[in-house]
Structure 1
């Protein structure tokens, strides 16, 4: 497993502050100068290369989040906001893709001789929960689709029964015959 970055050893508030400085256009040297001004740090100021690696990784994560947001927005635009089922299926597919990437990373880690994936127990637990939620989402999507189909079929039968009853009345059939036709269509 790789060694923990000296930037990761900094308190979360300091790392957030570093990201704000970078977002405001500060250079690596300016950020390091600001860190050296802080005399309350209980850990050493990271090297320029460690800061560079940390900020590069943060940029990769930001790009990935932006890309996922763009995909989600495109899906909503393409599918329409009214079809929750298609959006749910799209989310399930995206989560499945992410899980596949993690599996590939695990295989790569195992094949490079180290045999370990650089994941914390918390990350592994979150991955397990994601897999569990993926299965439940797929099951819920099937149940939702079946319920929608059932409602649509009931509505179609009801409309057909009303239409047939109206036509039967116009042709002069008896009330009992109309009721029998109506019942026959509804019980379909």
Structure 2
């Protein structure tokens, strides 16, 4: 069975945006209805109520996603490449979860999502998205490992050079220096 767009969904985009702006400014349903009537647009209070409720659900999901994203950025520290990749993975996880959980219920949106989930092409696309998400996660983990190895190698090289300079300044023997380096860097002394 085909899903018909709601009365509000059939309105021009600028009218729907105006409804959103009015609601954002704290206007009640009745105030929004009065405004629409002044523009000679007739919609039922219940249709407007369903639309506003749907907008609020979407807004809540966006606020939740934004909060998750901000929390992730704080946790990830100063690795911009890693942040972006990990954020994308988390956002995709969240979107797929939201899609599946939105399909519960009997409102228009849930019915539309249930129909989408019965579509073999849609399911294939969701499966492909999950597969790509898994690959992206593995790729990101490999990337982080490579970056950490390069950083550790640079740190060891820098530390070894600093140790050589201090050892020379303090008159430490090459054998003692080699033993210290072996103890610190985990390298066997020859």
* Equivalent residue, structure 2, for 1:5: 6
Larger relative contact order (CA 8 Å, sep ≥ 6): 1
Where structure 2 has 5 or more consecutive residues not aligned to the other structure, the ranges are 176-186
Which moves more between the two structures, 93-102 or 52-61?
A: 93-102
Aligned to 1:177: none
Instruction: Please give the secondary structure, in 2, of the residue aligned with 1:50.
Output: helix
The corresponding residue for 2:30 is 29
Q: Is the 8 A contact 2:92 2:133 kept in 1?
A: yes
Superposed CA RMSD in Å reads 4.2
State whether structure 2 residue 77 is matched by structure 1 residue 76: no
| CA shift in 2, pair 1:126/1:52, >3 Å | farther
Q: Corresponding residue for 1:19? A: 20
Runs of 5+ consecutive residues of structure 1 not aligned to the other structure: 174-184
Specify whether residues 49 and 20 from structure 1 end up closer, same or farther in structure 2 by C-alpha distance, changes over 3 A only: same
| Alpha-carbon separation, structure 2, partners of 1:59 and 1:107 | 17
Structure 1 contact 75–87 (Cα < 8 Å) conserved: no
* Aligned counterparts, 1:1-188, within 5 A: 1-39=2-40, 45-77=42-74, 79=75, 81-84=77-80, 85=82, 88-103=85-100, 116-117=115-116, 131=130, 134-135=133-134, 137-159=136-158, 161-162=160-161, 165=164, 167=167, 170-171=172-173
Change (3 A) 1:149 1:25: closer
Q: Distance in 2 between matches of 1:15 and 1:132?
A: 36
Cα distance in 1, alignment partners of residues 93 and 156 from structure 2: 38
User: Following the alignment from structure 1 to structure 2, what is the Cα–Cα distance between the partners of residues 30 and 164?
Assistant: 75
Between the aligned partners of 1:10 and 1:126, the Cα distance in structure 2 is 30
For structure 1, which segment, 66-75 or 56-65, has the greater mean C-alpha deviation from structure 2 after superposition? 66-75
CA distance in 2, matches of 1:74, 1:142: 19
Q: Scaled by the length of structure 1, what TM-score is found?
A: 0.64
Find the aligned partners of 1:115 and 1:64 in 2 and give their Cα distance.
19
Q: In 2, Cα distance between the equivalents of 1:30 and 1:118?
A: 38
